[in-house]
């Protein structure tokens, strides 16, 4: 009642309005589509990584296989007997074949749509792969140098030849990117 005696109707307490910044509730289909996008992005990153590993293995394999005649010629020229040179060549061929396994095994997991890739993008991809392969080859030189006294499966000379070959491959692509920077943008 009011002070004058008139009955005053009771007013309900004011309701608190919802804040304007509240996010709307996400529907199940929106959540599923968001999850699909996230999984697709993750799958693309994994495919890119596996493709990188695949091509590094391929470059190293090619390096070991191509270094075979180089190593044979240099070893015979250095005065080694043919049997001793053939042993190192067999090791190089063995490494090359072993590194072909991940190259071919990763094909189903490293699918990339090459039609969408432009030539500069491929050259930059190749630059990254050759740089990684060169660093891995240098690591193999260090490991082979450390293990050569303990095992016959580590030949620093073979690893060094592969390192030099891959260093030249990386250097060729790097020089191209420096000489023609407008082509790689």
Domain count, the chain: 1
Does residue 79 lie within any of the structural domains? yes
Does residue 11 lie within any of the structural domains? no
pLDDT in tens, 132-155: 999 999 998 898 888 877 877 777
Does residue 87 lie within any of the structural domains? yes
pLDDT of res. 138: 93
pLDDT of res. 24: 62
pLDDT of res. 13: 61
Percent of the chain with pLDDT over 70: 81
Structure tokens that stand for 45 in this block: 């990153």
Does residue 21 lie within any of the structural domains? no
**Residue 18 φ/ψ, nearest 5 degrees:** -70, 140
Does residue 19 lie within any of the structural domains? no
pLDDT in tens, 87-131: 778 888 888 999 999 999 988 877 776 777 777 777 788 888 999
pLDDT of res. 65: 87
Please say if the pLDDT value at position 22 is more than 60: no
Does residue 105 lie within any of the structural domains? yes
Name which of 145, 173, 175, 174 is nearest 159 in CA terms: 145
| H or E element in which residue 56 lies | helix 28-77
Residue 153, domain extent: 32-184
Does residue 49 lie within any of the structural domains? yes
User: Mean pLDDT throughout 37-61?
Assistant: 84
Token look-up 């309701």 returns 15
CB atoms within 10 A of CB 159: 26
Does residue 16 lie within any of the structural domains? no
């Amino acid at each position: 009642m009011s002070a004058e005696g008139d009955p005053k109707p009771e007013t309900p307490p004011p309701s608190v309005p919802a804040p304007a910044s509240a996010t709307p509730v996400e529907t199940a289909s929106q959540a599923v589509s968001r999850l699909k996008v996230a999984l697709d992005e993750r799958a693309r990153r994994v495919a890119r990584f596996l493709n990188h590993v695949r091509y590094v293995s391929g470059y190293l394999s090619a390096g070991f296989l191509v270094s075979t005649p180089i190593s044979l010629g240099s070893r015979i020229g250095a005065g080694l007997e043919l049997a001793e040179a053939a042993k190192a060549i067999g090791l190089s061929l063995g490494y090359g074949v072993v590194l072909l396994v991940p190259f071919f095994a990763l094909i189903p997991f490293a699918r990339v749509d090459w039609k969408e890739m432009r030539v500069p993008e491929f050259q930059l991809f190749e630059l990254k792969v050759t740089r990684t392969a060169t660093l891995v080859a240098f690591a193999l030189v260090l490991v082979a140098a450390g293990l050569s006294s303990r095992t016959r499966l580590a030949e620093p000379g073979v690893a060094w030849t592969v390192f030099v070959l891959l260093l030249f491959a990386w250097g060729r692509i790097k020089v191209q990117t420096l000489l023609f920077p407008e082509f790689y943008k």
